[in-house]
Amino acid sequence: MQHVLPKGLRRARNFGFLHPNCKRLIALLHVVLKFAPGRALAWVKERPPFLCACCGAVMAIVKTRIRSGIERLMPVPIVTQAVL
């Protein structure tokens, strides 16, 4: 199983200011660093919708998954023409 850590190791996201109980510390860090999450996300552009290669209609994303390390190294095939 790849998602289980070896015995004796802990997930690093549960330490320090990333711990779920440290919301006040995160708010303090935002003030000290003059960081506004709402303003930081305002400049992010929305992606164009995925279009069907056959009919050109907007596709709805039903499920996503994280690709494995080997899959990330392999190029994603580009569909240029629909196969019927």
pLDDT of residue 58: 93
Residues whose CB is less than 8 angstroms from the CB of residue 16 and which lie 6 or more positions away in sequence, other chains included: 22
Residues whose CB is less than 8 angstroms from the CB of residue 37 and which lie 6 or more positions away in sequence, other chains included: 30
pLDDT of residue 84: 55
pLDDT of residue 80: 66
29 phi, psi to nearest 5 deg: -60, -40
- Read off the pLDDT of residues 40-76 as tens digits, 9 standing for 90 and up: 777 777 888 889 888 999 998 888 777 666 766 777 6
Domain assignment present for residue 25? The answer is: yes
In whole angstroms, what separates CA 18 from the centre of its chain? 17
pLDDT of residue 55: 92
**pTM for the complete prediction?**
0.36
- Read off the pLDDT of residues 4-27 as tens digits, 9 standing for 90 and up: 888 887 777 667 777 778 888 888
Which residue segment(s) compose the domain that 18 sits in? 12-67
